[in-house]
Structure 1
Amino acid sequence: MWNRKQWSSMTFVIFFLAATSSSDDYACKIPHHSSHPFCDASIPIPHRARNLVSLLTLQEKILLLSNNASAVPRLGLPAYQWWSESLHGLATNGPGVSFHGAVSSATAFPQVLLSAASFNRSLWLRSAAAIAREARAMFNVGQAGLTFWAPNINLFRDPRWGRGQETPGEDPMLASAYAVQYVRGLQELPGIHDAARQDDDDDDDDALMVSACCKHFTAYDLDMWRQFARYNFNAVVSQQDLEDTYQPPFRGCIQQGKASCLMCSYNEVNGVPACANEELLGLARDKWGFKGYITSDCDAVATVFEYQKYAKSREDAVAAVLKAGMDINCGTFMLRYTESAIKQGKVKEEDLDRALLNLFTVQLRLGLFDGDPIRGRFGKLGAKDVCTPEHKALALEAARQGIVLLKNDKKFLPLNRDIGASLAVIGPMAATTELGGGYSGIPCTSTSLYDGLGEFAERISYAFGCHDVPCDSDDGFAEAINTAKQADFVVIVAGLDTTQETEDHDRVSLLLPGKQMDLVSSVADASKNPVILVLTGGGPLDVSFAERNEQIASILWVGYPGEAGGKALAEIIFGEFNPAGRLPMTWYPEAFTNVPMNDMSMRADPSRGYPGRTYRFYTGSRVYGFGHGLSYSDFSYNFLSAPSKISLSRIVKDGSRKRLLNKAGKEVYGVDYAQVDELQNCNLLSFSVDVSVTNLGDLDGSHVIMLFARGPKVVEGSPETQLVGFSRVHTISNKSTETSILVDPCEHLSFADKQGKRILPLGSHTLSVGDVEHVVSIQIY
């Protein structure tokens, strides 16, 4: 069986025709194919979808259940490629996007993890909106589809995961917030893309600019570790961890983001393949209200039979996923075995109809059956709307806001640009223009970190030190050391690239690859002044040696900063931008690699020496903690307004008075917690926390305010602390700025018990911002 990368490359030629169809290849053409009811935009979408399904033969239905959906010439339906990628810009991974035509590049935003480090909801929304605009433009010129399989909102549970770079980090609240903004920006909920519309009076809330897909559902965060591969891995997850860690991002993506697609993952969840898991997929549709289509990950239906041996036959695998609620197979497995599954009585034609209704509904919302797209609401968009100055400026802003200053001894940074000092840049990642990480496209402009620094330094030199990121040889050390000795200041660029972490490739160590650590230390020792260490990559690194080394004054994490990363880094190093990014994941010491990667438990278990995972439950030492990030300014905080007491109640069925009852109907006193689903009008209990932050420095700049909560330890498995809100604000030197964070106690102050039921601890909850705290008492009356 091919993996996803092989599938993308091996089938590109096959799918190229469908992916790059000309703009005149559309459904419902006048006069021959426009009379069908499904072409009548005045008819409600569900009726149009049902009409289309009713007109199809069984063979035609089967041929539409692949990502490369076949044409139906007699109805005037062109082929359609469902698989396009747009994780942080239009990407080449899926066959639905091509850069061969009028558009040869697209704006390359920072990889998701670095964007998440900005903790800026409006930035995420605007970035996704820009990607959507470029996607529609490329669709109009025949170089993209309209269904994009992003965002990746799995939690960055283990620091070795090769795809952690693609995610918003380790915190479920942060990942959910990112998912909501990305999906809203991509799908164009009302008011986001009005400037692109031709019909300003069109207020159809069901319409989509493009379709977003939340992936990979669920508990998918291992690609290849020892004998475990994503195709055969059974993620054993407690109901407690599912409820308060793995599922919240998907719930938010569906309920608040209104995503129109959900991708089920390769792995099994507690013994059942995700794409064949009726309980799991039913949760999304029946409990969370998901309205859209469910796609398999590529060849995930085949794994149900071939790798996981869950199904006894290929036909059983087809039946299992269709009955579970999956709608479309990325791959050809269902094309080959659905008909025989029907003949064997394992699949009914109604199962296909249900899937096709979901698929056609999304296509109708995209306007694919409304006639000529050039005459539609987004018809004016074209090549001129890709790589615009506005989008490139936004990519630069996203890189600026995400870069994290990890260390800055004696305020070594920023450097003074006006003194004309010479600068040496050392390291294999310094001169590369491949700064996008996984799921990248072709950027509008290709510049390196060295190029960006060169715009600010009058005299600059370069030495690679290591021939590549694996750094297996020290052949280049002597030249690097000599180059460093001759410069006034030295920037060393070390870290990771996609040879170390990517899809299908997890890391085994948290240390810098190969001899990179020796390179950094040798150059630092030789430099006349302390050096600046710049770290690339998505995975956390154990750089304790650099944190302790006084010759390494400053450390910056730039992740995969996208096309504008070089300029953003230079602006920060030379003080034109005050850094404010915060780490969206914990950086662990190398000893953490002793923890089995296949252990999905979040909570610590001292009895077996298990330290737990993520800042919410981890009990071990850290290199850098979640939320760590420095600025060129210092800040102080003050709580301006927050309640000191909140009273909860449960309403008796007869409504006579409010009191908390146990299951026997007796009034309860002295309880330690309340089950959230037993509380009435929980959403009405939300309260505002007003905070002021004072910039104590001489530089203006943005600042991320992070509100954490620490609740009473009423039951086993309580989080150590958890993020309940955040706000990025612009601050003025020596002045105070106020912000407000809304807290829903039933959502933000609760967690799951061992049965997977959310509980709200009673008693004192400590809210904290920086080093100041405020106590809120939650009581039952």
Structure 2
Amino acid sequence: MAQTSTPDTQAAALVAKMTLAEKVAQLQSGAPAIPRLGVAAYDWWSEGLHGIARNGYATVFPQAIGLAASWDTGLLQQVGTTVSTEARAKFNAIGAGHDHARYQGLTIWSPNINIFRDPRWGRGQETYGEDPYLTGQLAVNFIHGIQGDDPAHPRAIATPKHLAVHSGPEAGRHGFDVDVSPHDFEATYLPAFRAAITEGHADSVMCAYNALHGTPVCADSDLLTARLRHDWGFRGFVVSDCDAVDDMTKFHYFKPDNAQSSAASIQAGTDLDCGVAYADLLEAVQKGYVKEPVLDAALTRLFAARYRLSEWGNNKSPYATIGMDQVDSAAHRKLALQAALESIVLLKNEHGVLPLRQGAHVAVIGPNADALETLEANYHGTARAPVTPLEGLRERFGATRVHYAQGASLAEGVPVPIPETALRTAEHGSAGLTGEYFDNLNFSGKPVETRTDHVIDFDWDHVAPFDSLRADRYAVRWTGEWLPPAPGDYTLALHVDRCFDCNKQHDPVRLYVDGKKVLDDNGDDTHLQTVLHASDIRPHAIRLEYVHGGQDQGVRLQWLAPADAQLAEAQAAVRDADAMVAFVGLSPDVEGEELKIDVPGFNGGDRTDIGLPQPQQTLLERAAANGKPLVVVLMSGSAVALNWAKAHADAIVTAWYPGEEGGRAIAQVLAGDYNPGGRLPVTFYRSTRDLPPFVSYAAQGRTYRYFEGTPLYPFGYGLSYTHFAYAEPQLSSTRLDAGEKLTVSAIVRNEGDRDGDEVVQVYLDAPDDPLAPRHALVGFQRVHLAAKESRRVSFELTPRQLNSVDAAGERAVKAGHYRVFVGGGQPGDTEGVMAAFTIGGHEVLPK
């Protein structure tokens, strides 16, 4: 009987035909074509944290931390489905069997499920927060969405990252060693990855930069082979974080050269190198550091994945007909709005200030009110029609009722886009500048398109400003007037979103004020700033020229204005308003991955102070002095210590980095069209002083599970425009034998007059175990209840949700007395009901 062909046997047969040099080339992320074998070039690197990223227009969802604030597993699956659907559409547009460059493939390096253990970490925005169980369950559903329902034919492949124990600091990340305890390793840092593999069935995993106990993770066979493949049953492929193998030589000093580092990595279980270090595997085989069959095993896993993805036009693929009409479709935009709405967390609402009354005049202030970058966050696609908060409020309340002033910079020394209030077209005197768009690089002939751009803050990554232009070849000239609001010194700045790995010259940009060239860069300068003195408030002619002939991704015209001038503008905006809405927080310019920033409060993408930056704090205090209701909307990727706002603002809303529909979602919440139901996926601390050293990975003193202090706002917290009550807790049994399941339920009632969502949370307390966390989240459901509606909500807790971890890292269900709490947050922080039970016996659980 003929043997049935499978992706694994097909892959093995293909690999057997390759030369050693061809094999080595295919083990690197930028895998070249092998024409004689019919193998197309394929770059394995694609991103999709909150929308398919870095490959043109896509649906841009809230950043991952915002998605986590929804506490909605079904939503995460829908988002994952959208990400992979749009990835398939872009893949199909090129065609199966054709070369696919970086960001054009179906191997998506998401989600990031590292534990957000410290709010200072700039990349924490990419994660699902600080709790292992919440992170794991959201990851499982996102992975299901990415990969689809047919394991033999995944829509795309998900890659949970970065395995393991990786969450900053960004400085030194390429060579730091984590000496984490066995208890913390098992109880905090591994559970989400285990769930992603054993429940989510992710087909790929990314290993991290760091070392564990002296061994770089990408060369750690105990983790990548014993734990991942043997204990968890992983059958997919492992890819390194980018240049992690090279780091083993340069920064970890693990091996003397990349031939030996590469040999150690591939033998430990790292199949694919993001980078070029694996090029030295040719030398490694020749010198006997590694046997060629080890390469064959890794390649078979890689090519089996490509066969399952039907990369070569296999007719069995159910996704071959997905077209570009699916990219940022109306249905996907609707989902982006839903995701933004569900992510919003109401932290404070005194005196019923929210919802804002109909017909109110609203002063909109703050540096994040009209900034594209705080919608898109990092690792993002290009939003086709993004809605900023300012635009959303104008749409909802009416432009004549919204009074706008930027009011402050983001932080000391950090420029922000020049607002529309300081720009004016010369022809019509309207807000903004006149943009002339040319289909050439020298501004010759007539512009193809002309329009008024109210701010110069554009993301044009892999897209053109107009369909009539080529995405890789155009020039734009903006002209008009710059209006300094007061005399003083102004820093004018140009920001070009650089293609970080391009070797070619960057896009030239030039700025003229009053006919004088004040900034001129042909692609070499990274600090495009100049200081101009305005002796009065007369208008100044301004001209900005941008020539796009490379792979850079957009341009911004920014400034640092005198603080007093901006504060005075904010006060003027407030004067005729009934209420103030201040959009404050952070931005991807100050928190993120290895950023080149060193200003007060920020260093290298991480934070050194978790408080609100001083310029914004001053804005809030000055605005509040007017005595009108103050609503603070926090836009950030992490917790900010809003101590003053908690004490003095009337309402606080956390909107995160909310994606392309963020401004519309915020406006609907403020207007009361939508009742907020999000919950915090991280603890909001009061001060940086409350935190252990950033470099320490010990769990003690961190997150709600081990923090002994009083937080500003606790993990799981969030308010509503209605009120929910709990009653009648029930347990399937008050005494269990170790290894048995427990069913927990309670009645949840919406006692208010508004429909709303409640996030029902279940926490386990194990008071008999000194190593157990204060509380441990073991269940959650987001439920919608109409006004006055009641419902019994049930949870089935498995032994893995009822277990403890000892000092040696052994996980077991242990005998003792337990309590379970069901409520809208943690015990003691919100209403809920408690029940007690005991467990008899002892059962060790699998790793």
- Per-residue deviation, residues 210-230 of structure 1 (Å, max 9, x unmatched): 010010000000042xxx511
- Per-residue deviation, residues 194-215 of structure 1 (Å, max 9, x unmatched): xxxxxxxxxxx42111010010
**Matches of 1:719 and 1:730, distance apart in 2:** 30
Q: How does 1:646-685 map to 2 (within 5 A)?
A: 646-648=735-737, 682=739, 685=740
Q: CA deviation at 1:628?
A: 0.7
**Matches of 2:705 and 2:692, distance apart in 1:** 17
Preserved contact between residue 509 and residue 593 of structure 1 (Cα < 8 Å): no
Q: CA deviation at 1:364?
A: 1.1
Q: CA deviation at 1:514?
A: 3.3
One-letter amino acid of the counterpart of residue 190, structure 2: Q
The yes-or-no answer on 1:496 pairing with 2:586 is: yes
Q: CA deviation at 1:643?
A: 3.0
Q: CA deviation at 1:42?
A: 5.9
One-letter amino acid of the counterpart of residue 446, structure 1: P
Q: CA deviation at 1:640?
A: 4.5
In structure 2, which of residues 5, 8, 16 is the aligned counterpart of residue 54 of structure 1?
16
In structure 2, which of residues 649, 655, 666 is the aligned counterpart of residue 558 of structure 1?
655
Q: CA deviation at 1:314?
A: 2.1
**Matches of 1:379 and 1:735, distance apart in 2:** 45
- Per-residue deviation, residues 723-763 of structure 1 (Å, max 9, x unmatched): 0100111111122122211111x211222111000133423
Q: TM-score, normalised by structure 1?
A: 0.83
The yes-or-no answer on 1:451 pairing with 2:550 is: no
Preserved contact between residue 469 and residue 513 of structure 1 (Cα < 8 Å): yes
3-state DSSP of counterpart to 1:767: strand
Residue aligning to 1:200: none
Q: CA deviation at 1:467?
A: 3.6
3-state DSSP of counterpart to 1:541: coil
3-state DSSP of counterpart to 1:229: coil
In structure 1, which of residues 769, 777, 780 is the aligned counterpart of residue 838 of structure 2?
777
- Per-residue deviation, residues 467-496 of structure 1 (Å, max 9, x unmatched): 445477523111111211221111001000
One-letter amino acid of the counterpart of residue 513, structure 1: P
Residue aligning to 1:70: 32
3-state DSSP of counterpart to 1:629: coil
**Matches of 1:701 and 1:63, distance apart in 2:** 55
One-letter amino acid of the counterpart of residue 156, structure 1: F
Q: CA deviation at 1:780?
A: 3.3
Q: CA deviation at 1:171?
A: 0.3
Residue aligning to 1:159: 119
Q: Return 5+ residue gaps in structure 2 as ranges.
A: 95-99, 415-561, 595-604, 824-831, 843-847
Residue aligning to 1:439: 379
Preserved contact between residue 410 and residue 585 of structure 2 (Cα < 8 Å): no
Residue aligning to 2:789: 735
Preserved contact between residue 362 and residue 403 of structure 2 (Cα < 8 Å): yes
- The structure with the greater share of residues assigned to helix is 1
The yes-or-no answer on 1:596 pairing with 2:535 is: no
One-letter amino acid of the counterpart of residue 116, structure 2: F
Q: How does 1:248-647 map to 2 (within 5 A)?
A: 248-282=191-225, 283-335=227-279, 337-371=280-314, 376-417=317-358, 420-434=359-373, 435-458=375-398, 459-470=401-412, 474=563, 475-504=565-594, 505-526=605-626, 528-549=627-648, 552-592=649-689, 595-603=692-700, 612-647=701-736
- Per-residue deviation, residues 566-585 of structure 1 (Å, max 9, x unmatched): 11111111111111100000
The yes-or-no answer on 1:82 pairing with 2:44 is: yes
Q: CA deviation at 1:136?
A: 0.4
3-state DSSP of counterpart to 1:562: coil
One-letter amino acid of the counterpart of residue 428, structure 1: P
**Matches of 1:511 and 1:724, distance apart in 2:** 31
Residue aligning to 2:160: 214
3-state DSSP of counterpart to 1:694: strand
3-state DSSP of counterpart to 2:162: strand
- Per-residue deviation, residues 21-62 of structure 1 (Å, max 9, x unmatched): xxxxxxxxxxxxxxxxxxx99612221111111111111101
In structure 1, which of residues 136, 139, 146 is the aligned counterpart of residue 91 of structure 2?
139
3-state DSSP of counterpart to 1:515: helix
Residue aligning to 2:763: 708
Q: CA deviation at 1:593?
A: 6.3
Preserved contact between residue 765 and residue 777 of structure 1 (Cα < 8 Å): yes
In structure 1, which of residues 763, 769, 776 is the aligned counterpart of residue 816 of structure 2?
763
- Per-residue deviation, residues 358-407 of structure 1 (Å, max 9, x unmatched): 10111111112454x7x842121111111111110001001101100000
- Per-residue deviation, residues 628-663 of structure 1 (Å, max 9, x unmatched): 1000111101234313423326xxxxxxxxxxxxxx
Q: TM-score, normalised by structure 2?
A: 0.77
Residue aligning to 2:59: 107
**Matches of 2:75 and 2:3, distance apart in 1:** 34
Preserved contact between residue 428 and residue 469 of structure 1 (Cα < 8 Å): no
One-letter amino acid of the counterpart of residue 806, structure 2: D
3-state DSSP of counterpart to 1:733: coil
Preserved contact between residue 387 and residue 663 of structure 2 (Cα < 8 Å): yes
Residue aligning to 2:504: none
- Per-residue deviation, residues 587-641 of structure 1 (Å, max 9, x unmatched): 11224366211111112xxxxxxxx111011112211100010001111012343
Q: CA deviation at 1:689?
A: 1.5
Preserved contact between residue 471 and residue 515 of structure 1 (Cα < 8 Å): no
One-letter amino acid of the counterpart of residue 610, structure 2: L
Q: Which moved more, 1:298-307 or 1:138-147?
A: 138-147
Preserved contact between residue 696 and residue 734 of structure 1 (Cα < 8 Å): yes
- Percent identity over the alignment is 37
One-letter amino acid of the counterpart of residue 451, structure 1: E
One-letter amino acid of the counterpart of residue 168, structure 2: L
- Per-residue deviation, residues 294-322 of structure 1 (Å, max 9, x unmatched): 00000000000001101122221011101
Residue aligning to 2:542: none
Preserved contact between residue 174 and residue 251 of structure 2 (Cα < 8 Å): yes
One-letter amino acid of the counterpart of residue 502, structure 1: G
- Per-residue deviation, residues 119-139 of structure 1 (Å, max 9, x unmatched): 111111111111111110110
**Matches of 1:424 and 1:293, distance apart in 2:** 53
- The structure with the greater share of residues assigned to strand is 2
Preserved contact between residue 409 and residue 616 of structure 2 (Cα < 8 Å): no
**Matches of 2:335 and 2:327, distance apart in 1:** 13
The yes-or-no answer on 1:120 pairing with 2:72 is: yes
Cα-Cα RMSD: 1.7
Preserved contact between residue 412 and residue 554 of structure 1 (Cα < 8 Å): yes
In structure 2, which of residues 805, 812, 831 is the aligned counterpart of residue 752 of structure 1?
805
One-letter amino acid of the counterpart of residue 465, structure 1: G
One-letter amino acid of the counterpart of residue 486, structure 1: D
Residue aligning to 2:190: 247
Q: Which moved more, 1:42-51 or 1:588-597?
A: 588-597
**Matches of 2:20 and 2:688, distance apart in 1:** 57
**Matches of 1:316 and 1:757, distance apart in 2:** 34
One-letter amino acid of the counterpart of residue 641, structure 1: Q
Q: How does 1:685-696 map to 2 (within 5 A)?
A: 685-696=740-751
**Matches of 2:688 and 2:156, distance apart in 1:** 44
The yes-or-no answer on 1:179 pairing with 2:121 is: no
Q: CA deviation at 1:140?
A: 0.5
One-letter amino acid of the counterpart of residue 662, structure 2: G
**Matches of 2:140 and 2:807, distance apart in 1:** 28
